[in-house]
Structure 1
Amino acid sequence: MDSKTTVIDELIKKENYAIELWEPRGLNPSAPEVITALEVVTNSFLKKLRQIQIDSDLNKSQQLEKVQRLVDSLPWNDFDTEEKEFLADTIAPAIASLGFDPWSII
Protein backbone atom coordinates (compact mmCIF):
# COMPACT_ATOMS: atom_id res chain seq x y z
CA MET A 1 0.00 0.00 0.00
CA ASP A 2 1.45 3.38 -0.91
CA SER A 3 1.37 6.51 1.19
CA LYS A 4 -1.40 8.08 -0.88
CA THR A 5 -3.77 5.24 -0.10
CA THR A 6 -2.60 5.14 3.52
CA VAL A 7 -3.77 8.71 4.21
CA ILE A 8 -7.21 7.95 2.80
CA ASP A 9 -7.48 4.57 4.51
CA GLU A 10 -6.43 5.99 7.87
CA LEU A 11 -9.10 8.67 7.61
CA ILE A 12 -11.70 6.03 6.74
CA LYS A 13 -10.79 4.02 9.85
CA LYS A 14 -10.72 7.05 12.15
CA GLU A 15 -13.64 8.61 14.01
CA ASN A 16 -13.08 11.98 12.38
CA TYR A 17 -15.77 13.80 14.36
CA ALA A 18 -15.36 12.20 17.79
CA ILE A 19 -16.64 14.37 20.64
CA GLU A 20 -13.13 15.08 21.95
CA LEU A 21 -12.10 16.57 18.58
CA TRP A 22 -14.61 19.43 18.76
CA GLU A 23 -13.21 21.24 21.80
CA PRO A 24 -9.72 21.89 20.32
CA ARG A 25 -11.57 23.61 17.47
CA GLY A 26 -13.30 25.85 20.02
CA LEU A 27 -16.65 24.24 19.29
CA ASN A 28 -19.38 22.49 21.18
CA PRO A 29 -20.11 19.14 19.52
CA SER A 30 -22.98 19.08 17.08
CA ALA A 31 -25.98 16.86 17.70
CA PRO A 32 -25.27 13.11 17.45
CA GLU A 33 -27.29 12.80 14.24
CA VAL A 34 -25.22 15.58 12.64
CA ILE A 35 -21.98 13.91 13.73
CA THR A 36 -23.23 10.64 12.22
CA ALA A 37 -24.13 12.45 8.99
CA LEU A 38 -20.65 14.02 8.85
CA GLU A 39 -19.02 10.59 9.31
CA VAL A 40 -21.20 8.99 6.62
CA VAL A 41 -20.57 11.81 4.14
CA THR A 42 -16.85 11.81 4.86
CA ASN A 43 -16.42 8.05 4.56
CA SER A 44 -18.40 7.93 1.33
CA PHE A 45 -16.28 10.77 -0.06
CA LEU A 46 -13.04 9.06 1.01
CA LYS A 47 -14.00 5.74 -0.56
CA LYS A 48 -14.81 7.45 -3.86
CA LEU A 49 -11.59 9.46 -3.63
CA ARG A 50 -9.61 6.25 -3.14
CA GLN A 51 -11.19 4.86 -6.32
CA ILE A 52 -10.07 7.96 -8.23
CA GLN A 53 -6.58 7.57 -6.78
CA ILE A 54 -6.19 3.93 -7.83
CA ASP A 55 -7.75 4.31 -11.30
CA SER A 56 -4.64 4.01 -13.47
CA ASP A 57 -6.60 5.01 -16.59
CA LEU A 58 -6.96 8.60 -15.34
CA ASN A 59 -4.34 11.24 -16.01
CA LYS A 60 -3.74 14.02 -13.47
CA SER A 61 -6.14 16.41 -15.21
CA GLN A 62 -8.92 13.81 -15.25
CA GLN A 63 -8.27 13.02 -11.59
CA LEU A 64 -8.53 16.70 -10.70
CA GLU A 65 -11.81 17.02 -12.60
CA LYS A 66 -13.28 14.00 -10.79
CA VAL A 67 -12.07 15.23 -7.40
CA GLN A 68 -13.61 18.65 -8.05
CA ARG A 69 -16.94 17.06 -8.99
CA LEU A 70 -16.78 14.87 -5.91
CA VAL A 71 -16.17 17.88 -3.64
CA ASP A 72 -18.93 19.83 -5.35
CA SER A 73 -21.35 16.94 -4.80
CA LEU A 74 -20.88 16.97 -1.02
CA PRO A 75 -24.04 18.11 0.84
CA TRP A 76 -22.44 21.33 2.09
CA ASN A 77 -25.82 22.97 2.68
CA ASP A 78 -26.78 20.28 5.18
CA PHE A 79 -24.23 21.63 7.66
CA ASP A 80 -23.63 24.90 9.49
CA THR A 81 -20.47 26.96 8.97
CA GLU A 82 -18.43 25.26 11.69
CA GLU A 83 -19.44 21.80 10.50
CA LYS A 84 -18.54 22.72 6.92
CA GLU A 85 -15.12 23.90 8.09
CA PHE A 86 -14.61 20.70 10.09
CA LEU A 87 -15.59 18.63 7.02
CA ALA A 88 -13.22 20.61 4.79
CA ASP A 89 -10.35 20.27 7.28
CA THR A 90 -11.00 16.53 7.54
CA ILE A 91 -10.98 15.79 3.80
CA ALA A 92 -8.16 18.20 2.92
CA PRO A 93 -5.29 15.78 3.77
CA ALA A 94 -6.88 13.08 1.61
CA ILE A 95 -7.11 15.45 -1.35
CA ALA A 96 -3.54 16.62 -0.74
CA SER A 97 -2.38 12.98 -0.74
CA LEU A 98 -3.37 12.84 -4.41
CA GLY A 99 -1.06 15.77 -5.13
CA PHE A 100 -3.69 18.50 -5.33
CA ASP A 101 -4.06 21.71 -3.32
CA PRO A 102 -7.25 21.02 -1.37
CA TRP A 103 -7.91 24.71 -0.71
CA SER A 104 -8.15 25.43 -4.43
CA ILE A 105 -10.76 22.66 -4.75
CA ILE A 106 -12.86 22.89 -1.59
Structure 2
Amino acid sequence: MEFGTDLGIGPNEIEKISPQITFITSNADIEAIALVSLEGYQIAFSALPQYEVDGDQFCGLASALLMTGSSTIKTLFQEDLSEIIVRAENGYIIVSNAGRLVVVCAGTLI
Protein backbone atom coordinates (compact mmCIF):
# COMPACT_ATOMS: atom_id res chain seq x y z
CA MET A 1 0.00 0.00 0.00
CA GLU A 2 1.38 3.42 -0.96
CA PHE A 3 1.51 6.24 1.55
CA GLY A 4 -1.68 8.28 1.58
CA THR A 5 -3.92 5.68 -0.03
CA ASP A 6 -5.43 4.84 3.35
CA LEU A 7 -6.52 8.50 3.47
CA GLY A 8 -8.02 8.37 -0.01
CA ILE A 9 -5.14 10.45 -1.37
CA GLY A 10 -2.96 9.02 -4.09
CA PRO A 11 0.58 10.03 -5.10
CA ASN A 12 -0.76 12.27 -7.89
CA GLU A 13 -2.91 14.27 -5.47
CA ILE A 14 -0.02 14.62 -3.03
CA GLU A 15 2.19 15.96 -5.85
CA LYS A 16 -0.48 18.54 -6.72
CA ILE A 17 -0.87 19.71 -3.11
CA SER A 18 2.80 20.55 -2.46
CA PRO A 19 3.05 23.52 -4.89
CA GLN A 20 -0.20 24.93 -3.53
CA ILE A 21 1.12 24.76 0.03
CA THR A 22 4.32 26.52 -1.09
CA PHE A 23 2.25 29.22 -2.82
CA ILE A 24 0.40 29.93 0.42
CA THR A 25 3.58 30.45 2.45
CA SER A 26 5.00 32.68 -0.28
CA ASN A 27 1.90 34.88 -0.54
CA ALA A 28 0.38 35.07 2.93
CA ASP A 29 1.48 36.04 6.43
CA ILE A 30 2.13 32.39 7.23
CA GLU A 31 5.68 31.19 7.81
CA ALA A 32 4.90 27.48 7.76
CA ILE A 33 1.96 25.35 6.69
CA ALA A 34 1.42 21.62 6.57
CA LEU A 35 -1.16 19.04 5.69
CA VAL A 36 -0.85 16.19 8.17
CA SER A 37 -2.53 12.85 8.80
CA LEU A 38 -4.25 12.39 12.16
CA GLU A 39 -1.32 10.18 13.16
CA GLY A 40 1.13 13.02 12.51
CA TYR A 41 2.52 11.91 9.15
CA GLN A 42 3.51 14.75 6.87
CA ILE A 43 1.59 14.81 3.59
CA ALA A 44 2.72 18.26 2.44
CA PHE A 45 4.84 20.90 4.15
CA SER A 46 6.26 24.29 3.26
CA ALA A 47 8.09 26.91 5.30
CA LEU A 48 9.81 30.15 4.45
CA PRO A 49 13.61 29.73 4.40
CA GLN A 50 14.11 31.98 7.44
CA TYR A 51 11.55 30.00 9.48
CA GLU A 52 13.80 27.27 10.83
CA VAL A 53 11.58 24.31 11.60
CA ASP A 54 11.82 20.63 10.78
CA GLY A 55 8.77 19.46 8.82
CA ASP A 56 8.47 16.12 10.60
CA GLN A 57 8.72 17.77 14.02
CA PHE A 58 6.18 20.45 13.03
CA CYS A 59 3.70 17.79 11.88
CA GLY A 60 4.26 15.59 14.93
CA LEU A 61 3.66 18.50 17.29
CA ALA A 62 0.46 19.36 15.43
CA SER A 63 -0.77 15.80 15.80
CA ALA A 64 0.00 15.82 19.52
CA LEU A 65 -1.89 19.10 19.95
CA LEU A 66 -4.84 17.73 18.00
CA MET A 67 -5.04 14.49 19.96
CA THR A 68 -4.80 16.25 23.32
CA GLY A 69 -7.26 18.96 22.31
CA SER A 70 -9.73 16.48 20.82
CA SER A 71 -9.70 14.37 23.97
CA THR A 72 -10.22 17.43 26.15
CA ILE A 73 -13.11 18.80 24.09
CA LYS A 74 -14.80 15.37 23.96
CA THR A 75 -14.51 15.02 27.73
CA LEU A 76 -15.71 18.52 28.59
CA PHE A 77 -18.25 19.27 25.87
CA GLN A 78 -19.01 15.94 24.14
CA GLU A 79 -18.25 17.60 20.80
CA ASP A 80 -15.68 17.29 18.03
CA LEU A 81 -12.76 19.69 17.96
CA SER A 82 -12.76 22.33 15.21
CA GLU A 83 -9.45 24.08 15.73
CA ILE A 84 -6.74 24.92 18.22
CA ILE A 85 -5.10 28.33 18.36
CA VAL A 86 -1.96 28.75 20.45
CA ARG A 87 -0.58 32.27 20.73
CA ALA A 88 2.77 33.36 22.08
CA GLU A 89 4.33 36.78 22.37
CA ASN A 90 6.04 36.45 18.99
CA GLY A 91 3.83 34.09 17.03
CA TYR A 92 1.02 31.62 16.82
CA ILE A 93 0.08 28.18 15.56
CA ILE A 94 -3.33 27.12 14.31
CA VAL A 95 -4.29 23.46 14.05
CA SER A 96 -7.54 22.88 12.16
CA ASN A 97 -9.31 19.57 11.95
CA ALA A 98 -10.15 18.77 8.33
CA GLY A 99 -11.80 15.36 8.62
CA ARG A 100 -9.20 12.69 7.90
CA LEU A 101 -6.48 15.33 7.72
CA VAL A 102 -5.17 18.24 9.75
CA VAL A 103 -4.12 21.65 8.46
CA VAL A 104 -1.41 23.37 10.50
CA CYS A 105 -0.30 26.99 10.08
CA ALA A 106 2.29 28.99 11.97
CA GLY A 107 3.27 32.61 11.76
CA THR A 108 4.71 35.57 13.57
CA LEU A 109 2.39 38.32 12.31
CA ILE A 110 -0.62 38.43 14.61
TM-score norm. by structure 1 comes to 0.33
Give the structure with the higher percent helix.
Answer: 1
Q: Which has the higher contact order (CA 8 A, sep 6+)?
A: 1
